[in-house]
Structure 1
Amino acid sequence: MQKFIRILFNAKTLNRLVVPTVHKNYVFLKQYNQKLPFTHTNVSQASLRFLKPNAKSILAISLLSWLGFAEEDKNKESELIMTLKRSVLCINREQYDKAEQMLHLALRIAQQQQNEQGALYCFDLMANLAFEQRDLDKAHKLFVHILQLLLSKGTPEDDIKVIHISLKLARIYQLGAELEQAEIGYAWCLEQIKNKKNQNKDTKILYGVINDWYAQFLLDKNDVKKALVHLKEAYSVCNELSRQDVDQTVLLLNDLGTTCFRANDMTNAENYLKQAVSIGKDMQDKAYLGVVHANLGLILLEKGLLDQAKKFCKEALYLGKKHENSESINQANYCFDQIKMNLNK
């Protein structure tokens, strides 16, 4: 059995997870709407900081396909499917107590129907709900339980569901400061998906998600050069699969821009963020767009373009106030503080 799978089933590891004291980058998977606190590591060149906007992604794996329902079943809107949909809606609305109740109801229905796939999906949503609420130990145990069920039924280790769950466990190890296990997990997921990434849309989506999450892990370790490789790969997947999804494109361009800055590649940093600002004009939800403007202002400030930096910082503050987004407002104010420091030199 693969090394990472062995780690997952190590009983000693199950009780070693703690909630981290440092903020981690936002990670994306729309289906589970994981909204984690975020900040990029401060950089030394000009004491600049960059934020990754908190937003949802279009990258998702179909609920019904994952459950394995036949095409005719998808049209029946069974009691189980309706209950699962209501629970997902509650999660998206952050009605977590109600979501928990709905998931337990869905699990009972699935068990009464002897619907193993449905029960498995209930456990998966429960695990993600625990993760949403920062109960990492509970989420870890639930995800491990799901893997045990999958593997005990003969599911291959390179099956997309096994890779998908393993990716979330790698993220939990990262958040629990189990960095060695996280590194092994991300590498294992990439190894498993690389030969099947072009099989279908779901495998390509998962390939993009793995690259994005692994890039965030590498940024936490300050391995900027390697992180850029995986961010570019995630961006390539996003462009191929979701050219119409402006929000996700802006998020990844923001990441590429701020990461290029950390790599001291000011030209590409500016280019990526200018693309993000330009494309962001067509976003449906502009709540966090101010963060991107402020990040661009900081890049321009670093390049000595003071007037241009002021322009984007002002726009960031305007957008933040207009959309009542505290992250944009705070980042704009930080940008102005950096401008004042440069004027006083």
Structure 2
Amino acid sequence: MKMAASCVCRAVLSQTLNRFRSVGRDLIRISALHRTHLDHSRESVTGKRSACWVKISRHESGRNFQNSQRGGGGVLWAAVAFSLFSNSDEDQRDEAQRKEDEMILLLKKAKLSLIRGQLQAASSLLHQAVALAHQTHNNQAIIYTYSLMANLAYVQGHLDQAEKLFKAAMSFMLSGGTPQDDNAVIEMSLKLATIYAEQNKTELAEHGFRFCMESLEAKLDKQKDVPAEEHTEEQEALRKETRLLLGLCLDSRARYRASTRHLNQAGQDYLNALNICRQEQGETHPQTLVLMSDLATILDLQGRHDDALVLVQQAMDLSRSAGHPDQHVLLGNLAGILLHKGQLDDSVRFYQEALSLARQAGDQEAVDRIQEGLKEVKKRREEEAAEE
């Protein structure tokens, strides 16, 4: 049971690690729900079931009846009683199977609704699924569905509801024997810290980030003590997963620190996250490029425009060669830095290129931000003309 729960926790954790990315000050990002795995097999949600039924054939019943005529009635009644209990048990199993199948169907429908952007429909379907999970006392399914509901509530901006759902999921995980330093528990703790940061609950946010960082660093220190020749594939996968989660924590804390204008600390967190991403995912990985752009944004805010420009141009060159899916985001950052440097013509050129790509990608929020940047360029030009 504990192993099955751990598998579900891993599925929940993979929702974050597969999208190890940044949400920088001026950037639009992919929502957490893009990585929800709603189409798990039945075994991954509920665990394997055995079906061992005992049935009494008509021939056997007749023989038992003959035996009862010769004083063997006890055998008949035992068989009849067993048959009745077996049928009852089978009915219960059939009902449990029906509810399980219905729950899986609801999760699949919820996934389809999310893909279509029908968030209210997805929320309704997930509520129905979690009700079935409670009816069947399926803690693994409860944890899994609560985590999806929490992510959805967060995306919808319902922070109080998201907080309660994450706490509920964590409660079921911990009561089921999941260790407090399990990566899935830490990942949910990180989401709670992010929620507290958005709610301006400074003490809770800082405590949450500190717990996540210290727990992950302690795990990585323990893993270093294991001789290289004793490392298994599973241990290596866990090491990489833990480092990526540490990178995500650094990324999240950097955003929080930037929002509170602690730019030096934010820059250090971004740099550490960038180093982890480079080492684990490679120089041209989309997340590496996003982190380079985010770090450039911090440098720009610190007035280090030349350093910021070098870094974001490097990210742009790599993104073009690698076919980065969010080039318009990087171009927008590049245009903003050029604006701050006073290179207005170059800024407009890159803003327009970013605008075209953002429209092609259907990224309306990025479109809005780029248009704001173009308005700022226009304002700067008018100010310069007035001074002349």
Q: Given the two structures, how large is their TM-score scaled by the length of structure 1?
A: 0.72
Moved over 6 A (4+): 57-65
Q: How does 1:109-188 map to 2 (within 5 A)?
A: 109-188=132-211
Counterparts of 2:290 and 2:134, CA distance in 1:
40
Show the counterpart of 2:240: 201
Q: Does the CA-based 8 Å contact 2:24-2:255 persist in structure 1? A: no
Structure 1 residue 223 corresponds to structure 2 residue 262? yes
Q: Alpha carbons of 1:172 and 1:57: their partners in 2 closer, same or farther (altered >3 Å)?
A: closer
Cα deviation, 1:174-221, whole Å, max 9, x if unaligned, reads 111111211111111111111224743332232121111111000011
Aligned with 1:200: secondary structure? Answer: helix
Q: Alpha carbons of 1:87 and 1:320: their partners in 2 closer, same or farther (altered >3 Å)?
A: closer
23, 28, 49: which one aligns with 1:53: 28
Q: Alpha carbons of 1:273 and 1:82: their partners in 2 closer, same or farther (altered >3 Å)?
A: farther
Counterparts of 2:31 and 2:279, CA distance in 1:
18
Q: Alpha carbons of 1:320 and 1:119: their partners in 2 closer, same or farther (altered >3 Å)?
A: closer
Structure 1 residue 334 corresponds to structure 2 residue 375? yes
Displacement after TM superposition at 1:272 (Å): 1.9
Q: Alpha carbons of 1:307 and 1:108: their partners in 2 closer, same or farther (altered >3 Å)?
A: closer
Cα deviation, 1:68-122, whole Å, max 9, x if unaligned, reads 949x96xxxx845554344234234321222123213332443454431111111
Q: Does the CA-based 8 Å contact 2:296-2:309 persist in structure 1? A: yes
Displacement after TM superposition at 1:331 (Å): 4.2
Displacement after TM superposition at 1:300 (Å): 2.8
Structure 1 residue 303 corresponds to structure 2 residue 344? no
Aligned with 1:239: secondary structure? Answer: helix
Aligned residues: 296
Q: Does the CA-based 8 Å contact 2:284-2:318 persist in structure 1? A: no
Structure 1 residue 253 corresponds to structure 2 residue 228? no
- Paired AA for residue 257 in structure 2: L
Displacement after TM superposition at 1:140 (Å): 1.4
Structure 1 residue 276 corresponds to structure 2 residue 311? no
Aligned with 1:156: secondary structure? Answer: coil
Show the counterpart of 1:44: none
Counterparts of 1:320 and 1:217, CA distance in 2:
26
Counterparts of 1:69 and 1:135, CA distance in 2:
29
Q: Alpha carbons of 1:124 and 1:313: their partners in 2 closer, same or farther (altered >3 Å)?
A: closer
Q: Alpha carbons of 1:244 and 1:264: their partners in 2 closer, same or farther (altered >3 Å)?
A: closer
Aligned with 1:126: secondary structure? Answer: helix
Q: Does the CA-based 8 Å contact 2:248-2:273 persist in structure 1? A: yes
Comparing both structures, which one devotes a greater share of its residues to helix? 2
Q: Alpha carbons of 1:337 and 1:57: their partners in 2 closer, same or farther (altered >3 Å)?
A: farther
Aligned with 2:351: secondary structure? Answer: helix
Counterparts of 2:208 and 2:115, CA distance in 1:
27
Counterparts of 2:182 and 2:157, CA distance in 1:
27
Counterparts of 1:317 and 1:211, CA distance in 2:
30
- Paired AA for residue 55 in structure 1: I
Q: Does the CA-based 8 Å contact 1:31-1:60 persist in structure 2? A: no
- Paired AA for residue 315 in structure 2: A
- Paired AA for residue 153 in structure 2: A
Counterparts of 2:292 and 2:271, CA distance in 1:
9
Cα deviation, 1:217-249, whole Å, max 9, x if unaligned, reads 000111111111111222233334434875433
Q: Does the CA-based 8 Å contact 2:315-2:330 persist in structure 1? A: yes
Counterparts of 1:32 and 1:271, CA distance in 2:
28
Bigger shift: residues 199-208 or 180-189: 199-208
Q: Alpha carbons of 1:134 and 1:58: their partners in 2 closer, same or farther (altered >3 Å)?
A: closer
Structure 1 residue 105 corresponds to structure 2 residue 128? yes
Aligned with 1:97: secondary structure? Answer: helix
Aligned with 1:208: secondary structure? Answer: helix
Counterparts of 2:340 and 2:351, CA distance in 1:
13
Q: Does the CA-based 8 Å contact 1:59-1:205 persist in structure 2? A: no
Q: Does the CA-based 8 Å contact 2:253-2:266 persist in structure 1? A: yes
Show the counterpart of 2:66: none
Show the counterpart of 1:315: 353
Q: How does 1:38-77 map to 2 (within 5 A)?
A: 40=25, 51-55=26-30, 69=44
Displacement after TM superposition at 1:157 (Å): 1.9
- Paired AA for residue 206 in structure 1: L
Q: Alpha carbons of 1:161 and 1:88: their partners in 2 closer, same or farther (altered >3 Å)?
A: same
| Structure 2, gaps ≥5 residues long | 1-14, 49-99, 224-237
Displacement after TM superposition at 1:262 (Å): 1.8
Q: Does the CA-based 8 Å contact 1:235-1:249 persist in structure 2? A: yes
Aligned with 1:196: secondary structure? Answer: helix
Structure 1 residue 93 corresponds to structure 2 residue 68? no
- Paired AA for residue 269 in structure 2: H
Aligned with 2:117: secondary structure? Answer: coil
Q: Alpha carbons of 1:138 and 1:114: their partners in 2 closer, same or farther (altered >3 Å)?
A: same
